[in-house]
């Protein structure tokens, strides 16, 4: 009898999950048609970004209407062949992770409602920026009232949820946990506002490894990545022009690296990642116009 009850609960959970997935698919189709019509009638997207920015050359950009882009409106990572994105709609328990073909921009896989019920029940509601490492996607995640922020871990191939790890108490700070990146067995992260230190976790056991003090304070940090001992930080300060800072992890020297013209004063700079292709550094940014579009932009840099 107990087995029958458990089986019944399992069938019900499966049915409810299927219904929710179908509803999300219908919602996406309806909003896709709505926003496509609005774009065609009103030209909601403003002028294109300039490709003559100091230190950066715009190589390509992929645009997505809100109906699709909401699934990855927070984070961006790459393994060199694919992009991975994370997104959320706070307070309604919608969190998603996607896989994107880096050559075409096509969304090849999406896991809507990617956080399981037992994780949501603990108050986790906001997936932030993400990172790829060793076949896994690591994503920063905040909880209600910014208590016990955690690292969510997903399988990069299937996008299935694997596990989560609460940040050690000494590494939680204010509880704001907007982004992370993973490099050589270390997880790097900061808070979002009044940032004057970079915090470090051991990626093997998620223990706190200390911090790197920065020689200047920056704010509204939404994404970051490490390359050759330098941490690059994306900031959401300003209108259509967004700043990227660089932090020397050996000395803490922090300076402005780039300014990017996003082409729209309403753009929010979100996640970012850095890669190297044929000896050239590539900077990949996630730019979001709320309720309108999500854009993935790739720039070349000789830095």
Q: What domains are defined for the chain? A: 45-301 (2.115.10.20)
Instruction: Give the whole-angstrom CA distance, residue 169 versus residue 10.
Output: 36
Where does residue 174 rank: exposed (0-12), middle (13-18), buried (19+ CB within 10 A)? exposed
If one compares 240 and 35, the residue with the highest pLDDT of the two is 240
| Contact indicator for 114, 96 with CB cutoff of 8 Å | yes
Tens digits of per-residue pLDDT, 233-279? Answer: 999 998 899 999 999 999 999 999 999 999 999 999 999 999 998 88
Query: 61: number of CA atoms within 13 Å, CB side?
Result: 18
The 3-state DSSP class for residue 203 equals coil
* Residues contacting 87, CB < 8 A, separation 6+: 69, 70, 71, 72, 73, 74, 75, 95, 96, 97, 98, 127
The average pLDDT across 230-235 equals 98
Where does residue 153 rank: exposed (0-12), middle (13-18), buried (19+ CB within 10 A)? middle
Q: So what's the pLDDT on residue 278?
A: 82
Residue spans of alpha helices (H) in the chain: 2-42, 66-69, 117-120
If one compares 242 and 40, the residue with the highest pLDDT of the two is 242
Q: Is the confidence at residue 74, as pLDDT, over 70?
A: yes
Strands (DSSP E) found in the chain: 57-65, 75-78, 82-89, 94-101, 107-112, 124-133, 136-143, 150-155, 161-166, 181-183, 186-189, 195-202, 208-218, 221-227, 230-235, 241-248, 254-261, 268-277, 280-289, 293-301
| Contact indicator for 149, 170 with CB cutoff of 8 Å | no
The 3-state DSSP class for residue 275 equals strand
Percent above pLDDT 70 for the chain: 82
Q: Is 18 left (phi over 0), alpha (psi -120 to 50) or beta?
A: alpha
Q: So what's the pLDDT on residue 20?
A: 63
* Residues contacting 299, CB < 8 A, separation 6+: 53, 56, 57, 58, 59, 260, 282, 283, 284, 285
> Model pTM?
0.86
Q: Is the confidence at residue 125, as pLDDT, over 90?
A: no
Cα separation of the two ends of the chain: 67
- Confidence band of 50 (pLDDT split at 50, 70, 90): low
């Amino acid at each position: 009898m107990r087995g029958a009850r458990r089986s019944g609960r399992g069938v019900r959970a499966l049915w409810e999950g299927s219904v929710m997935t179908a509803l999300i698919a219908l919602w996406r189709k309806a909003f896709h048609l709505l926003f496509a019509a609005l774009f065609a009638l009103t030209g909601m997207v403003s002028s294109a970004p300039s490709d003559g920015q100091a230190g950066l050359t715009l190589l390509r950009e992929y645009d997505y209407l809100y109906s699709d882009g909401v699934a990855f409106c927070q984070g961006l990572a790459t393994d060199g062949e694919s992009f991975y994105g994370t997104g959320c709609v706070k307070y309604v328990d919608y969190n998603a992770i996607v896989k994107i073909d880096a050559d075409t921009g096509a969304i090849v896989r999406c896991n809507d409602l990617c956080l399981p019920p037992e994780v949501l029940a603990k108050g986790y509601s906001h997936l932030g920026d993400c990172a790829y490492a060793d076949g896994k996607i690591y994503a920063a995640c905040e909880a209600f009232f910014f208590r016990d922020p955690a690292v969510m871990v997903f399988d990069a191939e299937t996008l299935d949820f694997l596990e989560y790890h609460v940040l050690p108490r000494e590494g939680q700070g204010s509880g704001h946990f907007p982004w992370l990146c993973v490099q050589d067995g270390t997880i790097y992260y900061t808070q979002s506002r009044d940032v004057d230190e970079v915090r470090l976790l051991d990626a093997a056991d998620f223990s706190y490894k200390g911090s790197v003090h920065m020689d200047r304070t920056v704010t509204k940090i939404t994404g970051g990545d490490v390359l050759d001992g330098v941490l690059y930080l994306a900031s959401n300060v300003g209108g259509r022009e967004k700043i990227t800072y660089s932090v020397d992890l050996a000395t803490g020297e922090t300076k402005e690296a780039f300014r990017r013209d996003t082409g729209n004063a309403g753009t929010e700079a979100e996640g970012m990642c850095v890669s190297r292709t044929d000896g050239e550094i590539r900077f990949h940014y996630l730019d979001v116009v709320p309720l309108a579009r999500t854009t993935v932009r790739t720039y070349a840099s000789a830095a």
